[in-house]
Structure 1
């Protein structure tokens, strides 16, 4: 089955070129050669960094022809400079930023402010695309059911690439593709009020600098903030070809795709944490979806009829389209992962039914989603959640 798994190291939302990994270990090049012998173009029995990088670029170009979110796109070379253009909004004073945003709003309040909650609730800003939308919808409902009075999320989102951290930074600052035409929503509030956390959705070909710009700006005004990146989930685009039946989508194949994702994400998260200390974490939705496939294979997801609607054509599938959007009811799972990661609490300990519609997912499936979310958060070493005494509360938050 592993022959189905492609060498897509520019994964769904966050990836690096092969040369980056190759610098780390010759052993990885040997593993890639074993999995992808066609990459050895000169047939000398060894895979060079150049051969590996060329092979991946060819596969990227092939996949970029598919309908959906663009995987290959031009990025302004200004991202490689030490500073952004001097007219970037981020270089202005908090008062200047607020006044600039007020003009955009035509007189409306340009700064969102919340008093510090007394119950441990978090004040959160965020961005992201349609993969984040389900969780952004259910997360506040789950937090409220847990007895917390979390202020409303302040988000700046968009579809596909327009929700990426890179795109939103350019847009809010009025630089590069938005030169001199900033469209703010977050910068004014971040600079002029207190926040506890920022959430991100990933995108293809992401690089550390697409996140560090946000971190630098946030820490300038809120030095205790923490940052959380969703790692999305495995996608059909990681395969050599779209399978004709779900028999090919075994738990082993999906787990392999998840491992590739983890290798890519761990690289960028570790680099950011080396720079900023341990304040950047993964919201492990990928691990949760890998576990869902395993549970489905074992008959432990009552009401779920298939793995991928684009393959098996079942309405109640884990994924609903070829792009990889979540199927019906899976918005709860994503919300539970968000809650478990940011608050370090087991969603299984929230009493009763959380959502009004309990027909689907039914109570049993909803409880299973809570279980999967907590397992995923504990298993992922980048989530920041450890519960050694198994009381359902992260050890550092008791």
Structure 2
């Protein structure tokens, strides 16, 4: 069983990396000859035609077979939730050649490019961030929403990747050139953080996150940008939280999804509360989980016009809240995440935006009516979560000042 898990994990990492580079699915993922040869030695059963050579198609087929078998047994598949981490994360210091110990000039030279943004005079924010595919929808929508609200929102500077490769821990190792990236630093964010001014850093969460995975980023950012604030998304409920894969959407009741959302909140609330003891007034939550729980409640009440299902991987409906077993957002719900990001960072309700928002959608979905519901949900989620740093009175202040 462990060998099967390792095979699925190895393939998943390659697929995740491919997704981060814009490759649409595993059918088109490119595996190196070395990877295929290694997998053939470990998993000879994957070589279906017994010709002594494992093809990408055979590797994908074998992975799919294992995933189907796991699902038939009631097990969840997808992103790895158990994985090894370099034990040196527990050391007092990172390796001495880590980029974080270099001067700003040395870091900039190592990467070759420094991104900077002029100081805005309209209250717009200069934002850096890491993250994975759960953060991508919000990252894409946030600038469009902020611009429609009247802010000259500039493009976010992000260093992202698929799944585990977009986690705060992975990106810190990669940027610094430490542990598995020893001698190969890619300080895309470190170069700009240490040589320019920024207002916000954002992260996407990942399984088994530890305080040190974020503390390193916080300390580095504060060294060069003492006024910067930090925002961690708590994602949303995922099917792996259930004991077995649902046989139908009838099992995904509002109460069940609310319970799953509470579990997510508990996990990240303790982390953020701890950071706020260490860094008062600096670390906040992006309550995307609360927003999706509220959306599920609205769906059960028939208040999401045009949305046909909860989970496409369970109910098969295209217009669902979630589109696959991993838990990626369904069509149109990128706006909801973007509204949560906007409401949290700017302390304003997206309901106050009067002008049209150019999302660039080719279809008429989501409708104007559904978009209005998304804005309501986002603001409700943000002001009702004390860790967001935003209260309902902030909206009153905005109205008075406008």
Residue in structure 1 matching 2:179, options 176, 181, 187 = 176
1:322 and 1:101 map into 2 onto residues whose CA distance is 37
Aligned residue for 1:159?
162
1:79 and 1:390 map into 2 onto residues whose CA distance is 42
Shift of 1:273: 1.0
Alignment RMSD (CA, Å): 1.8
TM-score, scaled relative to structure 2: 0.79
1:387 and 1:165 map into 2 onto residues whose CA distance is 31
1:393 and 1:81 map into 2 onto residues whose CA distance is 46
1:393 and 1:333 map into 2 onto residues whose CA distance is 21
Q: Is the 8 A contact 1:293 1:307 kept in 2?
A: yes
Shift of 1:390: 5.0
Distance 1:270 1:90, change over 3 A: same
Q: Is the 8 A contact 2:76 2:240 kept in 1?
A: no
Aligned residue for 1:86?
96
Residue in structure 2 matching 1:376, options 374, 378, 381 = 381
Distance 1:66 1:394, change over 3 A: farther
2:166 and 2:394 map into 1 onto residues whose CA distance is 38
TM-score, scaled relative to structure 1: 0.80
Provide structure 2 residue ranges, at least 5 long, that are not aligned to the other structure. 1-72
Asked which structure has the greater RCO (Cα within 8 Å, sep 6+), the reply is 1
Shift of 1:388: 2.9
Aligned residue for 1:52?
none
Aligned residue for 1:67?
77
Distance 1:173 1:389, change over 3 A: closer
Q: Is the 8 A contact 2:107 2:187 kept in 1?
A: no
Aligned residue for 2:273?
270
The answer to whether structure 1 residue 306 and structure 2 residue 309 are counterparts is yes
Q: Is the 8 A contact 1:236 1:324 kept in 2?
A: yes
Distance 1:180 1:219, change over 3 A: same
Aligned residue for 1:367?
372
SS of 1:99's partner is helix
SS of 1:382's partner is helix
Aligned residue for 1:125?
128
1:199 and 1:284 map into 2 onto residues whose CA distance is 13
How many equivalent residue pairs? 328
Aligned residue for 2:109?
99
The structure in which a higher percent of residues are helix is 2
1:389 and 1:311 map into 2 onto residues whose CA distance is 39
Aligned residue for 1:17?
none
Residue in structure 2 matching 1:318, options 317, 321, 324 = 321
Aligned residue for 2:193?
190
